[in-house]
Amino acid sequence: MSGMEGKVALVTGAAGGIGAAVVRSLGERGAAVAAVDRDAERLADVVDKLRADGLQAAAFPADVTSSAEVEAVVDRVEYTLGPLDFLVNAAGVLRLSEARALTDEDWAVTFAVNTTGVFFVSRAVVNRMIGRGGGGALVTVASNAAGTARVEMAAYAASKAAATMFTKCLGLEVAKEGIRCNLVAPGSTETPMLSSMWHDESGPRGTIDGHPDAYRVGIPLGKIARPEDVADAVAFLLSDQAAHITMHDLTVDGGATLGV
């Protein structure tokens, strides 16, 4: 695969399932990728495997909930790899609880990573893109839960809805600078985040079949997404093939939200 040779990308949440798949996908297309995550040990493992496969990837441990750390790591990335062309906001956390039982910390941590982190990183990268005369693309990995109510996912869904609208508003404002801002909204995907929601071996089947008691339909395509399915959608929206697409929300959920 090719098409991104000479481009530089920054991916947050790069030690996680979708984030790591995005780093690999962009690397396979020829981009030099800055992999950012607060879990330095897992991040190093991900990057070591990519580099062993001949891909251009470098680890940059940082916490996206810290504005100072974000500004510093973006400076470090651009000094090391060059001016950024692409950003992927893939860092995310999930705290499951009924809305009225959420703790202050559950709410604060969820929004700090899923929403404020998107703001901090997007602001840092886009300001530098504009400072160079504009041009570039970013994708925020949101969720199909941003537009569909889910039991025990109030904090997560609300944080992803906020990140979705932030990304679209940013896209509207910077379109004149030639910067495209899009979203990918995954549904159930084979990641540690999904498996953390399963209580026994029936978990995968239940996800595919749905849970009527939780008002949740299943997945019409009859399978759970692979991280690579989401990464391919991200790569498309960053690529020149999507040159006239901005402020778009691409749902990748096998039909779980029935196309709504």
Confidence at residue 195, expressed as pLDDT on a 0 to 100 scale: 58
Confidence at residue 1, expressed as pLDDT on a 0 to 100 scale: 47
Residue pair 46/14 in contact by the 8 Å Cβ criterion:
yes
Please state the domain extents for the chain. 8-252
**Architecture of the domain whose range is 8-252:** 3-Layer(aba) Sandwich (3.40)
| E strand spans, 38-84 | 57-61
Find the helix or strand (DSSP H, E) in which 33 lies: strand 32-37
Find the helix or strand (DSSP H, E) in which 192 lies: helix 192-195
Question: Concatenated DSSP letters for 125-184?
Answer: HHHHHHHTT--EEEEEE--GGGSS--TTBHHHHHHHHHHHHHHHHHHHHHGGGTEEEEEE
Is 156 designated active site? yes
User: Which of 84, 90, 70, 73 is closest to 20 using CA atoms?
Assistant: 90
User: Which of 72, 82, 119, 111 is closest to 94 using CA atoms?
Assistant: 111
pLDDT mean for each 10 residues of the chain (260 residues): 89 96 98 98 97 98 98 98 98 96 98 98 98 97 97 97 98 98 94 62 74 90 95 98 98 94
Overall size of the chain counted in residues: 260
Q: pTM to 2 decimals? A: 0.95
Distance CA 147, CA 160 (A): 9
Confidence at residue 46, expressed as pLDDT on a 0 to 100 scale: 96
Among residues 156, 229, 237, 251, the one annotated as catalytic is 156
Confidence at residue 211, expressed as pLDDT on a 0 to 100 scale: 86
Those residues with Cβ within 8 angstroms of residue 41's Cβ, 6 or more apart along the chain or in another chain: none
